Amino acid sequence: MSQSGILVFVEHRNGQLRKASIEALSEAKRRAQGQKVTALLVGSGVKGLAAEVGKYGPDNVLVADSDALSSYSTEAFTQATAEAVKKVDPRFVFAAHTSMAKDFIPRVAARLDAPCVSDVMALQQDGDNISPVRPMYSGKCWGVYEITAPLAFITLRPNVFAVGEANGSGATIEDLAVSTDKIRAKVVAVHASEGAKIELSEAAIIVAGGRGIKGPENWPVLQSLCDALGAALGASRAVVDAGWIDHQFQVGQTGKTVSPQLYFACGISGAIQHLAGMSSSKVIVAINKDPDAPIFKFANYGIVGDVLEVVPKLTSEVRKLHEHN
């Protein structure tokens, strides 16, 4: 039988499915063209999540559930996914482009001598082949890829693909046995980062501050806007390097790549390396006191003014809007 359908690796954390994985599963449904979609869950005590996964419409949910999979290890997750591929024989394997996927999906691809295309932002249908489109050179250009192998791995950028409706119910659930005897490196502890209330790479709205906020004592000004919007806080490298905030908040070429619906650049000049991380945001708002700041060329809306004056006003205006709706 020739390879057909799509296998989707579905990630979960603290008993919850990752939104980015649901996006990948939803996109697989849209791309399957009537062929089979299989979801793969890997972990310990994760059977309960299979029904939730089933709602997004896969034909089948494979569950690799064992104590040995309770914490993440590259090799066990590689093994589980490789076993699933052998069983399902798909044309494509999808996953969300997360820290976990970056760690092990290319390893599975290498094991199966298959190509991997990562951080994909769009999929062009090309008969029954798919041509992934992805940003390169930090988003300064895009590449359209042609896959010439019978099996290919594709990781999808979070926040770009729409979540489908959760009204499916017909998925069959099946156990997948995985041998986990060869694990030479594994996660022994997970420490939640301090400070981050909402994870940057998954946030729908981001409020980011740069050197224009004047000093670390002014983060609460931006944090209040974040709270009013349900947004995540971000930062430019200049303020990370200055020690005003931890690197986990940095957006840009040497920080995180984000694609929120709405991005506020507050006192950020708009250097090319900053744009690298956020230029795929749907709507960009710039607040900068310099009318000639490069950021205004990329912003959908701009206000020329002092961040410390504008942001508090914005916070109260957003609160008013929410009260009225």
Q: Are strands 232-235 and 205-209 parallel, antiparallel or unpaired?
A: parallel
- CA–CA separation, 167 and 117 (whole Å): 30
Q: Which does 238 bind (CB under 5 to 8 A by kind): another protein, ligand FAD, none?
A: ligand FAD
Please give the C-alpha separations between residue 316 and each of 185, 224, 233, 251, in angstroms, as whole numbers: 49, 9, 18, 26
By the rule CB under 8 A, 301 interacts with another protein: yes
Q: Enter the DSSP assignment of 244.
A: S
Q: Which does 268 bind (CB under 5 to 8 A by kind): another protein, ligand FAD, none?
A: ligand FAD
Q: Which does 319 bind (CB under 5 to 8 A by kind): another protein, ligand FAD, none?
A: none
- CA–CA separation, 109 and 116 (whole Å): 6
Structure-token match 């099946």, residue found? 174
Give the one residue of 24, 49, 293, 299 binding ligand FAD; rule: CB under 6 A. 293
- Residue 159 — left, alpha, or beta (φ > 0 → left; ψ -120 to 50 → alpha)? left
Contact 77, 192 (CB under 8 A): no
Q: Which does 96 bind (CB under 5 to 8 A by kind): ligand FAD, another protein, none?
A: none
Residue 33 or 254 having the CB closest to ligand FAD: 254
By the rule CB under 8 A, 192 interacts with another protein: yes
Q: Which does 68 bind (CB under 5 to 8 A by kind): ligand FAD, another protein, none?
A: none
Residue 158 or 252 having the CB closest to ligand FAD: 252
- CA–CA separation, 87 and 53 (whole Å): 19
Please give the C-alpha separations between residue 300 and each of 265, 271, 286, in angstroms, as whole numbers: 11, 17, 8
Which segment (13-21, 43-51, 67-75, 288-296) binds ligand FAD by CB under 6 A? 288-296
By the rule CB under 6 A, 304 interacts with ligand FAD: no
- CA–CA separation, 208 and 198 (whole Å): 13
By the rule CB under 6 A, 302 interacts with ligand FAD: no
By the rule CB under 8 A, 282 interacts with another protein: yes
By the rule CB under 8 A, 305 interacts with another protein: yes
Contact 280, 136 (CB under 8 A): no
Least Cα distance to 261 among 236, 294, 229 occurs for 229
Binding residues for another protein restricted to 235-254, rule: CB under 8 A: 247-248, 250, 253-254
By the rule CB under 8 A, 223 interacts with another protein: no
Least Cα distance to 144 among 136, 152, 101 occurs for 136
Contact 116, 93 (CB under 8 A): no
Give the one residue of 178, 205, 206, 245 binding another protein; rule: CB under 8 A. 205
Which segment (58-66, 94-102, 197-205, 303-311) binds ligand FAD by CB under 6 A? 303-311
Residues that bind ligand FAD (CB under 6 A): 210-212, 214, 236-239, 250-255, 267-269, 271, 273-274, 277, 288-290, 293, 306-308
